[in-house]
Structure 1
Amino acid sequence: MYALVTGASRGIGRALAHALARCGYDLLLVARSAEGLQQVAAEISAQHQQQAQVLALDLAAPNAAATVAAWVQEHAPVLGVLVNNAGYGLWGRFEELSLTEQQNMLQLNMSLPVALTHALLPCLHQAPKAYILNVSSTAAYQAVPTLTLYAASKAFLLSFSRGLRYELKDTNVSVSCLSPGATTTSFADRAGMGAELQKTSEKVAMTPEAVAAAAVAGMLAGQAEIVPGLLNKVSAGLTSLVPKRLTEKIAAGIYEKYLD
Protein backbone atom coordinates (compact mmCIF):
# COMPACT_ATOMS: atom_id res chain seq x y z
CA MET A 1 0.00 0.00 0.00
CA TYR A 2 1.35 3.41 -0.99
CA ALA A 3 1.12 6.85 0.59
CA LEU A 4 1.71 10.02 -1.42
CA VAL A 5 3.18 13.01 0.43
CA THR A 6 3.62 16.39 -1.23
CA GLY A 7 6.16 18.85 0.13
CA ALA A 8 8.04 15.84 1.48
CA SER A 9 11.66 17.02 1.35
CA ARG A 10 11.73 18.69 4.78
CA GLY A 11 9.80 19.81 7.85
CA ILE A 12 6.38 18.32 8.55
CA GLY A 13 6.28 16.60 5.14
CA ARG A 14 9.50 14.72 5.85
CA ALA A 15 8.28 13.77 9.34
CA LEU A 16 4.93 12.58 7.92
CA ALA A 17 6.75 10.38 5.41
CA HIS A 18 8.70 8.72 8.23
CA ALA A 19 5.58 8.30 10.36
CA LEU A 20 3.70 6.64 7.49
CA ALA A 21 6.66 4.38 6.72
CA ARG A 22 6.62 3.23 10.36
CA CYS A 23 2.99 2.22 9.78
CA GLY A 24 4.05 0.01 6.87
CA TYR A 25 3.31 2.25 3.90
CA ASP A 26 5.60 2.53 0.89
CA LEU A 27 6.10 6.17 -0.05
CA LEU A 28 5.67 8.37 -3.08
CA LEU A 29 7.44 11.63 -2.31
CA VAL A 30 7.00 14.88 -4.23
CA ALA A 31 8.67 18.27 -3.77
CA ARG A 32 10.83 20.74 -5.68
CA SER A 33 14.18 19.63 -4.22
CA ALA A 34 15.50 16.45 -5.85
CA GLU A 35 18.39 16.31 -3.40
CA GLY A 36 16.12 16.65 -0.39
CA LEU A 37 13.76 13.98 -1.68
CA GLN A 38 16.58 11.53 -2.34
CA GLN A 39 17.82 12.02 1.22
CA VAL A 40 14.38 11.34 2.69
CA ALA A 41 13.95 8.28 0.46
CA ALA A 42 17.31 6.91 1.62
CA GLU A 43 16.34 7.48 5.27
CA ILE A 44 13.05 5.64 4.81
CA SER A 45 14.74 2.67 3.14
CA ALA A 46 17.44 2.44 5.81
CA GLN A 47 15.32 3.10 8.90
CA HIS A 48 11.99 1.49 8.02
CA GLN A 49 12.76 -0.93 5.15
CA GLN A 50 9.99 0.60 3.06
CA GLN A 51 10.19 1.62 -0.59
CA ALA A 52 10.26 5.30 -1.41
CA GLN A 53 10.02 6.74 -4.91
CA VAL A 54 10.56 10.42 -5.64
CA LEU A 55 9.37 13.03 -8.11
CA ALA A 56 11.12 16.42 -8.16
CA LEU A 57 8.59 18.98 -9.39
CA ASP A 58 7.61 22.61 -8.91
CA LEU A 59 4.18 22.04 -7.38
CA ALA A 60 3.18 25.67 -7.91
CA ALA A 61 3.06 25.09 -11.67
CA PRO A 62 -0.51 25.08 -13.06
CA ASN A 63 -0.19 21.55 -14.51
CA ALA A 64 1.54 20.05 -11.45
CA ALA A 65 -1.49 18.08 -10.22
CA ALA A 66 -1.93 16.32 -13.56
CA THR A 67 1.77 15.45 -13.67
CA VAL A 68 1.70 14.03 -10.14
CA ALA A 69 -1.51 12.08 -10.77
CA ALA A 70 -0.09 10.45 -13.89
CA TRP A 71 3.11 9.55 -12.01
CA VAL A 72 1.12 8.04 -9.12
CA GLN A 73 -1.04 5.95 -11.43
CA GLU A 74 2.12 4.58 -13.04
CA HIS A 75 3.99 3.78 -9.81
CA ALA A 76 1.39 2.89 -7.18
CA PRO A 77 -0.59 -0.34 -7.61
CA VAL A 78 -2.81 0.69 -4.67
CA LEU A 79 -2.87 4.20 -3.19
CA GLY A 80 -3.97 4.20 0.43
CA VAL A 81 -3.05 7.70 1.62
CA LEU A 82 -2.93 11.16 0.05
CA VAL A 83 -1.19 13.82 2.12
CA ASN A 84 -1.64 17.35 0.78
CA ASN A 85 1.19 19.02 2.67
CA ALA A 86 2.87 21.35 0.17
CA GLY A 87 2.37 25.02 1.01
CA TYR A 88 3.95 28.13 2.48
CA GLY A 89 3.16 31.55 3.90
CA LEU A 90 4.04 35.16 3.10
CA TRP A 91 4.36 37.66 5.92
CA GLY A 92 3.62 41.34 5.40
CA ARG A 93 0.85 43.74 4.59
CA PHE A 94 -1.32 42.57 1.71
CA GLU A 95 -0.92 45.72 -0.38
CA GLU A 96 2.86 45.75 0.07
CA LEU A 97 3.50 42.14 -0.94
CA SER A 98 3.91 41.14 -4.57
CA LEU A 99 0.57 40.10 -6.06
CA THR A 100 2.30 37.48 -8.21
CA GLU A 101 3.98 35.91 -5.17
CA GLN A 102 0.67 35.85 -3.28
CA GLN A 103 -1.12 34.23 -6.22
CA ASN A 104 1.62 31.58 -6.43
CA MET A 105 1.08 30.87 -2.74
CA LEU A 106 -2.67 30.47 -3.27
CA GLN A 107 -2.00 28.13 -6.17
CA LEU A 108 0.09 25.86 -3.96
CA ASN A 109 -2.00 26.16 -0.78
CA MET A 110 -5.46 25.77 -2.35
CA SER A 111 -5.60 24.91 -6.04
CA LEU A 112 -3.03 22.10 -5.91
CA PRO A 113 -4.68 20.06 -3.12
CA VAL A 114 -8.10 20.48 -4.74
CA ALA A 115 -6.86 19.35 -8.17
CA LEU A 116 -4.74 16.52 -6.77
CA THR A 117 -7.57 15.22 -4.60
CA HIS A 118 -9.98 15.29 -7.53
CA ALA A 119 -7.51 13.46 -9.77
CA LEU A 120 -6.58 10.77 -7.24
CA LEU A 121 -9.93 9.97 -5.63
CA PRO A 122 -10.58 7.19 -8.20
CA CYS A 123 -7.27 5.58 -7.12
CA LEU A 124 -8.12 5.96 -3.42
CA HIS A 125 -11.52 4.34 -3.95
CA GLN A 126 -9.76 1.18 -5.14
CA ALA A 127 -8.10 0.62 -1.75
CA PRO A 128 -9.88 -1.36 1.00
CA LYS A 129 -9.48 1.69 3.27
CA ALA A 130 -7.99 5.02 2.25
CA TYR A 131 -7.21 8.37 3.84
CA ILE A 132 -6.79 11.99 2.79
CA LEU A 133 -4.82 14.23 5.13
CA ASN A 134 -4.88 17.94 4.31
CA VAL A 135 -2.29 19.99 6.17
CA SER A 136 -3.77 23.30 7.27
CA SER A 137 -2.78 25.46 10.27
CA THR A 138 -4.21 26.89 13.47
CA ALA A 139 -4.29 30.09 11.39
CA ALA A 140 -7.34 28.54 9.70
CA TYR A 141 -9.45 29.30 12.76
CA GLN A 142 -9.11 33.09 12.62
CA ALA A 143 -8.02 35.97 10.44
CA VAL A 144 -4.34 36.82 10.93
CA PRO A 145 -3.32 40.35 9.86
CA THR A 146 0.05 40.36 8.02
CA LEU A 147 -0.55 36.69 7.21
CA THR A 148 -3.90 37.55 5.70
CA LEU A 149 -3.93 35.42 2.55
CA TYR A 150 -2.03 32.56 4.19
CA ALA A 151 -4.64 32.30 6.96
CA ALA A 152 -7.45 32.61 4.40
CA SER A 153 -5.98 29.81 2.30
CA LYS A 154 -5.73 27.55 5.34
CA ALA A 155 -9.33 28.35 6.31
CA PHE A 156 -10.31 27.30 2.79
CA LEU A 157 -8.45 24.01 3.20
CA LEU A 158 -10.17 23.30 6.52
CA SER A 159 -13.61 24.01 5.05
CA PHE A 160 -12.81 21.94 1.95
CA SER A 161 -11.75 19.03 4.15
CA ARG A 162 -14.91 19.08 6.23
CA GLY A 163 -17.21 19.33 3.23
CA LEU A 164 -15.42 16.56 1.36
CA ARG A 165 -15.38 14.39 4.50
CA TYR A 166 -19.16 14.56 4.67
CA GLU A 167 -19.55 13.77 0.97
CA LEU A 168 -17.35 10.68 1.38
CA LYS A 169 -18.73 9.51 4.74
CA ASP A 170 -20.33 6.39 3.25
CA THR A 171 -17.28 5.40 1.21
CA ASN A 172 -13.91 3.82 1.98
CA VAL A 173 -12.15 7.22 2.06
CA SER A 174 -11.72 9.12 5.32
CA VAL A 175 -10.78 12.81 5.20
CA SER A 176 -8.86 14.55 8.00
CA CYS A 177 -7.44 18.04 8.36
CA LEU A 178 -4.24 18.65 10.31
CA SER A 179 -3.89 22.13 11.85
CA PRO A 180 -0.54 22.51 13.61
CA GLY A 181 0.57 25.66 15.37
CA ALA A 182 4.14 26.94 15.47
CA THR A 183 6.53 24.17 14.41
CA THR A 184 10.32 24.09 14.15
CA THR A 185 10.48 24.18 10.36
CA SER A 186 11.69 26.66 7.73
CA PHE A 187 8.20 28.24 7.53
CA ALA A 188 9.31 31.52 9.14
CA ASP A 189 12.29 31.89 6.78
CA ARG A 190 10.16 31.18 3.72
CA ALA A 191 7.48 33.60 4.89
CA GLY A 192 10.06 36.36 5.27
CA MET A 193 9.64 36.83 9.01
CA GLY A 194 12.24 38.72 10.99
CA ALA A 195 14.61 37.15 13.49
CA GLU A 196 12.79 38.52 16.54
CA LEU A 197 9.45 37.13 15.40
CA GLN A 198 11.07 33.77 14.68
CA LYS A 199 12.51 33.67 18.21
CA THR A 200 9.08 34.40 19.68
CA SER A 201 7.52 31.61 17.62
CA GLU A 202 10.20 29.10 18.57
CA LYS A 203 9.36 29.44 22.27
CA VAL A 204 6.07 27.57 21.77
CA ALA A 205 6.97 25.51 18.70
CA MET A 206 6.46 21.76 18.43
CA THR A 207 8.85 19.48 16.58
CA PRO A 208 7.80 18.17 13.14
CA GLU A 209 8.09 14.63 14.52
CA ALA A 210 5.59 15.32 17.32
CA VAL A 211 3.19 16.93 14.86
CA ALA A 212 3.51 14.02 12.42
CA ALA A 213 2.95 11.40 15.11
CA ALA A 214 -0.27 13.11 16.21
CA ALA A 215 -1.33 13.58 12.60
CA VAL A 216 -0.96 9.97 11.52
CA ALA A 217 -2.56 8.64 14.71
CA GLY A 218 -5.51 11.00 14.26
CA MET A 219 -5.83 10.22 10.56
CA LEU A 220 -5.90 6.46 11.12
CA ALA A 221 -8.45 6.97 13.91
CA GLY A 222 -10.68 8.84 11.47
CA GLN A 223 -10.59 12.23 13.21
CA ALA A 224 -12.06 15.13 11.25
CA GLU A 225 -9.75 17.79 12.71
CA ILE A 226 -6.34 17.18 14.26
CA VAL A 227 -4.81 20.00 16.30
CA PRO A 228 -1.57 18.77 17.92
CA GLY A 229 -0.51 20.17 21.28
CA LEU A 230 -2.60 21.31 24.25
CA LEU A 231 -1.82 25.01 23.74
CA ASN A 232 -2.85 24.83 20.10
CA LYS A 233 -6.07 22.98 20.97
CA VAL A 234 -7.00 25.61 23.53
CA SER A 235 -6.14 28.46 21.14
CA ALA A 236 -8.18 26.98 18.29
CA GLY A 237 -11.11 26.29 20.60
CA LEU A 238 -11.15 29.79 22.06
CA THR A 239 -11.46 31.41 18.63
CA SER A 240 -15.03 30.12 18.40
CA LEU A 241 -15.91 31.71 21.75
CA VAL A 242 -14.09 35.05 21.56
CA PRO A 243 -15.37 37.90 19.32
CA LYS A 244 -13.58 37.89 15.96
CA ARG A 245 -12.54 41.52 16.31
CA LEU A 246 -10.68 40.65 19.52
CA THR A 247 -8.87 37.62 18.06
CA GLU A 248 -7.81 39.73 15.08
CA LYS A 249 -6.51 42.45 17.39
CA ILE A 250 -4.51 39.91 19.41
CA ALA A 251 -3.04 38.34 16.26
CA ALA A 252 -2.15 41.76 14.86
CA GLY A 253 -0.47 42.64 18.13
CA ILE A 254 1.78 39.59 17.81
CA TYR A 255 2.80 40.06 14.17
CA GLU A 256 2.47 43.73 13.20
CA LYS A 257 4.88 45.13 15.75
CA TYR A 258 7.78 43.33 14.06
CA LEU A 259 7.09 44.76 10.60
CA ASP A 260 8.60 48.23 11.03
Structure 2
Amino acid sequence: MNEYALVTGASKGIGREIALLLARSGYHLLLVARSEAELQQLAKLINETYKVHAFYLPIDLSVEKAADQVANWCKKQTPALSILINNAGYGLWGNFDQLTLADQMNMLKLNIDVVLELSHHLLPVLKQQKQAYILNLSSTAAYQAVPTLSLYAAGKTFILSYSRALRYELKDSTVSVSCLCPGPTATGFSNRAGMDALADLAEKFNMSPEIVAEIGLKGMFNKKAEIIPGFLNKISAFGTRLLPKFLIERITARLYQQ
Protein backbone atom coordinates (compact mmCIF):
# COMPACT_ATOMS: atom_id res chain seq x y z
CA MET A 1 0.00 0.00 0.00
CA ASN A 2 1.33 3.44 -0.91
CA GLU A 3 -1.48 5.53 0.55
CA TYR A 4 -1.07 8.32 3.08
CA ALA A 5 -3.22 9.59 5.93
CA LEU A 6 -3.01 13.02 7.57
CA VAL A 7 -3.86 13.06 11.29
CA THR A 8 -4.10 16.36 13.16
CA GLY A 9 -3.81 16.42 16.92
CA ALA A 10 -1.81 13.23 16.51
CA SER A 11 0.49 13.46 19.51
CA LYS A 12 -1.90 12.03 22.10
CA GLY A 13 -5.38 10.71 22.83
CA ILE A 14 -7.71 9.65 20.04
CA GLY A 15 -5.48 11.11 17.33
CA ARG A 16 -2.48 9.09 18.46
CA GLU A 17 -4.48 5.87 18.58
CA ILE A 18 -5.96 6.51 15.14
CA ALA A 19 -2.46 7.05 13.75
CA LEU A 20 -1.25 3.76 15.24
CA LEU A 21 -4.23 1.83 13.87
CA LEU A 22 -3.75 3.30 10.40
CA ALA A 23 -0.05 2.43 10.49
CA ARG A 24 -0.95 -1.12 11.47
CA SER A 25 -3.25 -1.22 8.43
CA GLY A 26 -0.40 -0.19 6.12
CA TYR A 27 -0.97 3.54 5.69
CA HIS A 28 1.93 5.97 5.66
CA LEU A 29 1.38 8.76 8.18
CA LEU A 30 1.56 12.54 8.10
CA LEU A 31 1.37 13.62 11.74
CA VAL A 32 0.56 17.13 12.93
CA ALA A 33 0.41 18.54 16.47
CA ARG A 34 2.01 21.21 18.64
CA SER A 35 4.46 19.03 20.58
CA GLU A 36 7.57 18.20 18.55
CA ALA A 37 8.88 15.80 21.19
CA GLU A 38 5.66 13.77 21.28
CA LEU A 39 5.39 13.71 17.49
CA GLN A 40 9.00 12.61 17.15
CA GLN A 41 8.41 9.80 19.63
CA LEU A 42 5.26 8.64 17.83
CA ALA A 43 6.88 8.79 14.38
CA LYS A 44 9.85 6.78 15.68
CA LEU A 45 7.51 4.15 17.15
CA ILE A 46 5.59 3.83 13.87
CA ASN A 47 8.72 3.74 11.71
CA GLU A 48 10.30 1.04 13.87
CA THR A 49 7.19 -1.08 14.44
CA TYR A 50 5.33 -1.03 11.13
CA LYS A 51 6.45 -1.26 7.51
CA VAL A 52 5.34 2.29 6.78
CA HIS A 53 6.77 5.79 6.90
CA ALA A 54 5.69 8.43 9.40
CA PHE A 55 6.52 12.10 8.86
CA TYR A 56 5.63 14.86 11.28
CA LEU A 57 5.14 18.62 11.37
CA PRO A 58 5.09 20.39 14.75
CA ILE A 59 2.84 23.43 14.43
CA ASP A 60 0.18 25.33 16.39
CA LEU A 61 -2.83 25.02 14.10
CA SER A 62 -4.62 27.92 15.75
CA VAL A 63 -2.16 30.52 14.42
CA GLU A 64 -2.84 32.44 11.21
CA LYS A 65 -2.14 30.53 7.97
CA ALA A 66 -1.19 27.35 9.86
CA ALA A 67 -3.66 25.27 7.84
CA ASP A 68 -2.13 26.61 4.62
CA GLN A 69 1.31 25.48 5.80
CA VAL A 70 0.03 22.01 6.68
CA ALA A 71 -1.74 21.61 3.33
CA ASN A 72 1.35 22.70 1.40
CA TRP A 73 3.53 20.36 3.47
CA CYS A 74 1.19 17.43 2.74
CA LYS A 75 1.20 18.11 -1.00
CA LYS A 76 5.00 18.15 -0.98
CA GLN A 77 5.17 14.87 0.91
CA THR A 78 2.85 12.89 -1.37
CA PRO A 79 0.21 13.06 -4.11
CA ALA A 80 -1.38 9.91 -2.66
CA LEU A 81 -3.22 11.37 0.35
CA SER A 82 -6.37 9.31 0.79
CA ILE A 83 -7.38 9.96 4.42
CA LEU A 84 -7.85 13.23 6.31
CA ILE A 85 -8.45 12.94 10.06
CA ASN A 86 -9.50 16.32 11.49
CA ASN A 87 -8.90 15.53 15.16
CA ALA A 88 -7.20 18.64 16.61
CA GLY A 89 -9.33 20.58 19.08
CA TYR A 90 -10.01 21.41 22.72
CA GLY A 91 -12.67 22.85 25.02
CA LEU A 92 -13.00 25.66 27.56
CA TRP A 93 -15.20 25.37 30.64
CA GLY A 94 -16.93 28.39 32.15
CA ASN A 95 -19.64 30.96 31.60
CA PHE A 96 -19.32 32.78 28.29
CA ASP A 97 -18.89 36.23 29.88
CA GLN A 98 -16.31 34.99 32.38
CA LEU A 99 -13.93 33.48 29.84
CA THR A 100 -11.82 35.81 27.74
CA LEU A 101 -13.08 36.42 24.24
CA ALA A 102 -9.58 35.85 22.83
CA ASP A 103 -9.36 32.37 24.39
CA GLN A 104 -12.79 31.40 23.12
CA MET A 105 -12.10 32.66 19.60
CA ASN A 106 -8.82 30.75 19.57
CA MET A 107 -10.70 27.58 20.51
CA LEU A 108 -13.21 28.12 17.68
CA LYS A 109 -10.37 28.78 15.26
CA LEU A 110 -8.93 25.34 15.98
CA ASN A 111 -12.21 23.46 16.38
CA ILE A 112 -13.94 24.91 13.30
CA ASP A 113 -11.81 27.07 10.99
CA VAL A 114 -8.90 24.63 10.70
CA VAL A 115 -11.28 21.78 9.83
CA LEU A 116 -12.80 23.83 7.03
CA GLU A 117 -9.47 25.15 5.75
CA LEU A 118 -7.72 21.77 5.64
CA SER A 119 -10.73 20.11 4.02
CA HIS A 120 -10.98 22.80 1.36
CA HIS A 121 -7.25 22.75 0.63
CA LEU A 122 -6.98 18.97 0.45
CA LEU A 123 -10.24 17.93 -1.21
CA PRO A 124 -8.73 18.30 -4.71
CA VAL A 125 -6.02 15.81 -3.70
CA LEU A 126 -8.48 13.42 -2.03
CA LYS A 127 -10.74 13.45 -5.09
CA GLN A 128 -7.88 12.13 -7.22
CA GLN A 129 -7.77 8.87 -5.24
CA LYS A 130 -9.79 5.75 -6.09
CA GLN A 131 -11.26 5.92 -2.60
CA ALA A 132 -10.70 8.58 0.03
CA TYR A 133 -12.08 9.44 3.46
CA ILE A 134 -12.54 12.44 5.72
CA LEU A 135 -13.17 11.82 9.42
CA ASN A 136 -14.12 14.91 11.43
CA LEU A 137 -14.08 14.78 15.23
CA SER A 138 -17.17 16.16 16.88
CA SER A 139 -18.67 15.15 20.24
CA THR A 140 -21.90 14.02 21.87
CA ALA A 141 -21.99 17.65 23.02
CA ALA A 142 -23.08 18.39 19.43
CA TYR A 143 -26.57 17.07 20.16
CA GLN A 144 -27.62 19.75 22.68
CA ALA A 145 -26.73 23.12 24.11
CA VAL A 146 -24.34 22.78 27.05
CA PRO A 147 -24.20 25.65 29.56
CA THR A 148 -20.60 26.38 30.68
CA LEU A 149 -19.40 24.64 27.51
CA SER A 150 -21.53 26.81 25.26
CA LEU A 151 -19.12 27.62 22.43
CA TYR A 152 -17.44 24.22 22.53
CA ALA A 153 -20.79 22.45 22.13
CA ALA A 154 -21.98 24.92 19.49
CA GLY A 155 -18.76 24.38 17.54
CA LYS A 156 -19.22 20.62 17.64
CA THR A 157 -22.80 21.04 16.42
CA PHE A 158 -21.39 23.01 13.51
CA ILE A 159 -18.88 20.26 12.69
CA LEU A 160 -21.58 17.58 12.73
CA SER A 161 -23.92 19.57 10.50
CA TYR A 162 -21.12 20.56 8.14
CA SER A 163 -19.89 16.97 7.88
CA ARG A 164 -23.32 15.67 6.93
CA ALA A 165 -23.80 18.42 4.33
CA LEU A 166 -20.34 17.89 2.83
CA ARG A 167 -20.98 14.15 2.77
CA TYR A 168 -24.08 14.71 0.64
CA GLU A 169 -22.30 17.13 -1.68
CA LEU A 170 -19.59 14.52 -2.28
CA LYS A 171 -21.91 11.51 -2.60
CA ASP A 172 -21.09 11.07 -6.29
CA SER A 173 -17.34 11.45 -5.75
CA THR A 174 -14.70 9.06 -4.42
CA VAL A 175 -14.59 10.87 -1.05
CA SER A 176 -16.63 9.61 1.89
CA VAL A 177 -17.18 11.96 4.87
CA SER A 178 -17.89 10.70 8.39
CA CYS A 179 -18.23 12.42 11.76
CA LEU A 180 -17.05 10.79 14.99
CA CYS A 181 -19.00 11.93 18.06
CA PRO A 182 -17.45 10.43 21.20
CA GLY A 183 -18.65 11.06 24.72
CA PRO A 184 -16.29 11.44 27.70
CA THR A 185 -12.93 9.94 26.74
CA ALA A 186 -9.71 9.58 28.75
CA THR A 187 -7.73 12.06 26.67
CA GLY A 188 -6.92 14.86 29.11
CA PHE A 189 -9.81 16.94 27.73
CA SER A 190 -11.07 17.83 31.22
CA ASN A 191 -7.68 19.17 32.29
CA ARG A 192 -7.24 21.20 29.09
CA ALA A 193 -10.75 22.62 29.48
CA GLY A 194 -10.10 23.61 33.10
CA MET A 195 -12.61 21.06 34.41
CA ASP A 196 -10.47 19.57 37.19
CA ALA A 197 -13.44 19.78 39.56
CA LEU A 198 -15.28 17.24 37.40
CA ALA A 199 -12.42 14.78 37.07
CA ASP A 200 -14.04 12.18 39.35
CA LEU A 201 -17.32 12.37 37.42
CA ALA A 202 -15.53 12.05 34.08
CA GLU A 203 -13.64 8.95 35.21
CA LYS A 204 -16.92 7.11 35.81
CA PHE A 205 -18.03 7.53 32.18
CA ASN A 206 -14.75 7.77 30.26
CA MET A 207 -14.10 5.46 27.32
CA SER A 208 -10.53 4.64 26.38
CA PRO A 209 -9.09 6.49 23.36
CA GLU A 210 -8.03 3.12 21.91
CA ILE A 211 -11.65 1.90 21.76
CA VAL A 212 -12.95 5.22 20.44
CA ALA A 213 -10.29 5.24 17.71
CA GLU A 214 -11.07 1.67 16.70
CA ILE A 215 -14.82 2.34 16.50
CA GLY A 216 -14.20 5.61 14.66
CA LEU A 217 -12.03 4.06 11.95
CA LYS A 218 -14.34 1.09 11.52
CA GLY A 219 -17.25 3.48 10.98
CA MET A 220 -15.22 5.63 8.61
CA PHE A 221 -14.19 2.70 6.43
CA ASN A 222 -17.81 1.51 6.46
CA LYS A 223 -18.79 4.99 5.23
CA LYS A 224 -21.09 5.78 8.15
CA ALA A 225 -22.34 9.36 8.38
CA GLU A 226 -22.31 9.60 12.19
CA ILE A 227 -20.32 7.41 14.56
CA ILE A 228 -21.22 7.46 18.27
CA PRO A 229 -19.04 5.10 20.34
CA GLY A 230 -20.65 3.47 23.35
CA PHE A 231 -24.20 2.35 24.12
CA LEU A 232 -24.84 5.03 26.77
CA ASN A 233 -23.62 7.75 24.41
CA LYS A 234 -25.98 6.49 21.69
CA ILE A 235 -28.90 6.52 24.13
CA SER A 236 -27.97 10.02 25.31
CA ALA A 237 -27.79 11.39 21.76
CA PHE A 238 -31.10 9.76 20.85
CA GLY A 239 -32.72 11.07 24.02
CA THR A 240 -32.03 14.67 23.07
CA ARG A 241 -34.45 14.24 20.16
CA LEU A 242 -37.29 13.21 22.46
CA LEU A 243 -36.99 15.47 25.51
CA PRO A 244 -37.77 19.21 25.56
CA LYS A 245 -34.72 21.38 24.98
CA PHE A 246 -35.14 23.30 28.22
CA LEU A 247 -35.06 20.03 30.17
CA ILE A 248 -31.91 18.84 28.38
CA GLU A 249 -30.24 22.18 29.08
CA ARG A 250 -31.20 21.98 32.77
CA ILE A 251 -29.73 18.47 33.04
CA THR A 252 -26.47 19.36 31.31
CA ALA A 253 -26.17 22.58 33.32
CA ARG A 254 -26.31 20.56 36.53
CA LEU A 255 -23.76 18.08 35.24
CA TYR A 256 -21.29 20.78 34.26
CA GLN A 257 -22.07 23.45 36.86
CA GLN A 258 -19.09 25.28 38.34
Q: Sort the TM-score into its range (normalised by shorter chain).
A: over 0.9
Partner of 2:189: 187
What residue number does 2:152 align with?
150
Q: Matched residues in 2 for 1:173 and 1:250: separation? A: 38
Distance 1:96 1:194 in 2: 17
Residue in 2 aligned with 1:19? 21
Letter in 1 for 2:195: M
| SS in structure 1 of the partner of residue 56 of structure 2 | strand
SS at match of 1:82: strand
Which residue number corresponds to residue 256 of structure 2?
A: 255
Q: Deviations over 1:122-146 (max 9, x none)?
A: 0101111000000000000000000
Q: Considering only aligned residues, what root-mean-square deviation do their CA atoms show, in Å?
A: 0.8
The Cα offsets for residues 145-178 of structure 1, whole Å up to 9 and x where unpaired, read as 0000000000000001000000000000000000
Q: 1:48: Cα distance to partner?
A: 2.4
CA displacement, residues 213-256 of structure 1 (integer Å, 9 cap, x when unaligned): 00000000000000001111111111111111111100001011
Deviation (angstroms), 1:198: 1.1
Output the amino acid matched with 2:77: H
1:12-61, CA deviations, whole angstroms, 9 ceiling, x for partnerless residues?
11011011112211100001100011111122123323210000001001
Tell me what 1:47 maps to.
49
- Cα distance in 2 for residues equivalent to 1:230 and 1:39: 34
| Aligned partner of residue 205 in structure 2, secondary structure | coil
The answer for the alignment partner of 1:217 in structure 2 is 218
- Distance, in Å, in 2 between the alignment partners of 1:123 and 1:171 is 12
State the SS of the aligned residue for 1:74.
helix
Give the 4+ runs in structure 1 shifted more than 6 A: none
**CA distance in structure 2 between the aligned counterparts of 1:134 and 1:188, rounded to whole angstroms:** 20
Distance in 2 between residues matched to 1:62 and 1:105, nearest whole Å: 13
Name the CA distance, whole Å, in 2 between partners of 1:50 and 1:28. Answer: 11
1:121 maps to which residue?
123
Residue in 2 that maps onto 1:233: 234
Secondary structure at the counterpart of residue 215 of structure 2: helix
Question: How far apart in 2 are the matches of 1:92 and 1:59?
Answer: 23
Partner of 1:89: 91
Quote the Cα distance in structure 2 between the aligned partners of 1:47 and 1:251.
43
The aligned amino acid for 2:12 is R
How far did 1:77 drift? Answer: 2.7
1:150-189 aligned within 5 A: 150-189=152-191
SS in 2 for 1:203: helix
Give the distance between the partners of 1:226 and 1:28, measured in 2 at CA.
Answer: 23
Displacement of 1:194 in angstroms is 2.3
Deviations 1:73-121 (A, max 9, x none): 0002300100000000000000000100000000000000001100000
Distance 1:26 1:232 in 2: 32
| Structure-2 separation of matches of 1:43 and 1:238 | 41
| Structure 2 match to 1:141 | 143
Partner-residue secondary structure (3-state), 2:93: coil
Match of 2:70 in 1: 68
Match of 1:100 among 99, 102, 116: 102
Q: Give the equivalent residue in structure 1 for 2:202.
A: 201
- 1-structure distance, mates of 2:44, 2:236: 37
| Count of aligned residue pairs for this structure pair | 256
Hey, what's the Cα distance between the residues in 2 that align with 1:239 and 1:47? 43
- Secondary structure in 2 aligned to 1:58? coil
Q: 1:78, 1:206 → 2: CA distance?
A: 33
| CA distance in 1 between partners of 2:130 and 2:51 (Å) | 23
